[in-house]
Amino acid sequence: MNTSPRPERTALAGSDAENCNTSANPAFGDVLEARLSRRNALRLSVGSAGAAVLGTVGLSACGGGGDAAPPASVPLALNFAAVPKSTADAVSVPAGYTAAVLFALGDPIAAATPDYRNDGTDGDFDNRAGDHHDGMEYFGLNATGTARDAAGSTRGLLVQNHEATSHAGARAGFPTEYASTYVHANGGTNTLPRPAAEVDKEVALHGLSIIEVSRNAGRFSYDKASAYNRRVTPLTAMRISGPARGHALMKTKHSVAGTDARGTLNNCGTGTTPWGTFLTGEENFAGYFTRSATDNADRAAAGDARSVVSLNRYGRSQGAASRHAWETGGPADAYARWNISALAGQPADGSGDYRNELNTFGWVVEMDPYDKAQAIRKRTALGRFAHESATFGLRTAGKPLAVYMGDDSRGEYIYKFVSAAAWSEADANPANRITTGDKYLDSGRLYVAKFNADGSGDWIELDIANAAIAGYATYAFADQADVLVNARLAADAVGATKMDRPEWCAVHPVTGEIYYTLTNNSNRKVEPTGSQMAVDAANPRAYSDSYGGGAPGAPGNIHGHIIRMKEAGGEGAATRFSWDVYLFGAEAGADAARVNLSALTAEQDFSSPDGLWFSPKTGLCFIQTDDGAYTDVSNCMMLAGIPGQVGDGAVVPLEYTKADASKLVVNARVGAKPTAATLRRFLVGPVDCEITGITETPDGKALFVNIQHPGESILQADIADPSRYTSHWPGNAGYGAGGANARPRSATIVITRDDGGVIGVSGDRFLNNN
Ligand code: FEO
Ligand code: CA
Ligand code: CA
Ligand code: CA
Distance 247 CA to ligand 1 centre (A): 28
Ligand 1 atom closest to the Cα of residue 626 is 3
Distance 730 CA to ligand 4 centre (A): 21
- When the pLDDT of each residue in the chain is averaged and rounded to a whole number, the result is 92
Whether 125 and 116 have beta carbons less than 8 Å apart is answered as: no
Distance 517 CA to ligand 3 centre (A): 9
Whether the bond between 502 and the residue before it is cis, its omega within 30 degrees of 0, is no
Of 504, 728, 747, 766, give the one whose Cα is nearest residue 619.
Answer: 766
Of 219, 153, 80, give the one whose Cα is nearest residue 700.
Answer: 153
pLDDT at 43: 29
pLDDT at 35 over 90: no
Q: How far is CA 503 from the centre of its chain?
A: 5
Ligand 1 atom closest to the Cα of residue 16 is 2
pLDDT at 17: 53
Distance 547 CA to ligand 2 centre (A): 5
pLDDT at 63: 36
Distance 387 CA to ligand 3 centre (A): 9
Of 169, 163, 203, give the one whose Cα is nearest residue 183.
Answer: 203
Contacts of residue 733, defined as CB under 8 A and 6 or more positions apart, other chains included, come to 90, 91, 101
pLDDT: which is higher, 72 or 685 = 685
Distance 744 CA to ligand 3 centre (A): 20
**Mean pLDDT of the region 475-487:** 98
**Measured CA distances, 270 to 5, 63, 90, 613, 694 (Å):** 36, 20, 26, 10, 10
Ligand 1 atom closest to the Cα of residue 388 is 2
Whether the bond between 730 and the residue before it is cis, its omega within 30 degrees of 0, is yes
pLDDT at 770: 85
Cα separation, 715 vs 181, in Å, equals: 7
pLDDT at 428: 98
Ligand 1 atom closest to the Cα of residue 268 is 1
Coil/strand/helix, residue 329: helix
**Mean pLDDT of the region 572-581:** 98
Of the listed ligands, the closest to the CA of 559 is 2
Cα separation, 637 vs 639, in Å, equals: 7
**92 pLDDT tier (thresholds 50, 70, 90):** very high
Write out the H or E segment, with its range, that includes residue 492.
Answer: helix 487-493
Coil/strand/helix, residue 28: helix
Residue nearest atom 3 of ligand 1, based on CA coordinates: 268
Distance 727 CA to ligand 3 centre (A): 21
Secondary structure of the chain: what % helix, strand, coil (to 5)? 15, 30, 55
pLDDT at 48 over 50: no
Of 442, 455, 386, give the one whose Cα is nearest residue 414.
Answer: 386
Q: What percent of the chain has pLDDT over 90?
A: 88
Q: What is the pLDDT of residues 139-171, one digit of tens each?
A: 999 999 999 999 999 999 999 999 999 999 988
Ligand 1 atom closest to the Cα of residue 284 is 1
Ligand 1 atom closest to the Cα of residue 283 is 1
Contacts of residue 130, defined as CB under 8 A and 6 or more positions apart, other chains included, come to 105, 162, 204, 205, 206, 207, 208, 209, 231, 233
pLDDT at 75: 59
**702 pLDDT tier (thresholds 50, 70, 90):** very high
Per-residue three-class SS string for 34-56? CCCCCCCCEECCCCCCCCCECCE
Q: What is the pLDDT of residues 348-373, one digit of tens each?
A: 999 999 999 999 999 999 999 999 99
pLDDT at 50 over 60: no
Whether 641 and 623 have beta carbons less than 8 Å apart is answered as: yes
Cα separation, 687 vs 190, in Å, equals: 25
Total residue length of the chain: 770
pLDDT at 25: 64
**Mean pLDDT of the region 451-476:** 98
Whether 667 and 652 have beta carbons less than 8 Å apart is answered as: yes
pLDDT at 23: 77
Q: What is the pLDDT of residues 607-650, one digit of tens each?
A: 999 999 999 999 999 999 999 999 999 999 999 999 999 999 99
Q: How many Cα atoms occupy the beta-carbon half-sphere of 67 within 13 Å? A: 26
Ligand 1 atom closest to the Cα of residue 164 is 1
Cα separation, 163 vs 226, in Å, equals: 23
Distance 704 CA to ligand 4 centre (A): 18
Contacts of residue 298, defined as CB under 8 A and 6 or more positions apart, other chains included, come to 292, 341, 342, 344
β-strand pairing of 97-104 with 663-670: unpaired
Buried b (16+ CB within 10 A) or exposed e, 549-567: eeeeeebbbbbbbbbbbbb
β strands within 121-266, DSSP E: 133-140, 155-162, 207-216, 219-222, 230-232, 237-241, 260-262
- Which one-letter DSSP state was computed for residue 141? B
pLDDT at 41: 30
Residue nearest atom 1 of ligand 1, based on CA coordinates: 268
Residues with CB under 6 A from ligand 1: 16, 163, 268, 283, 388, 408, 503, 610
Distance 283 CA to ligand 1 centre (A): 7
Type of residue numbered 163: E
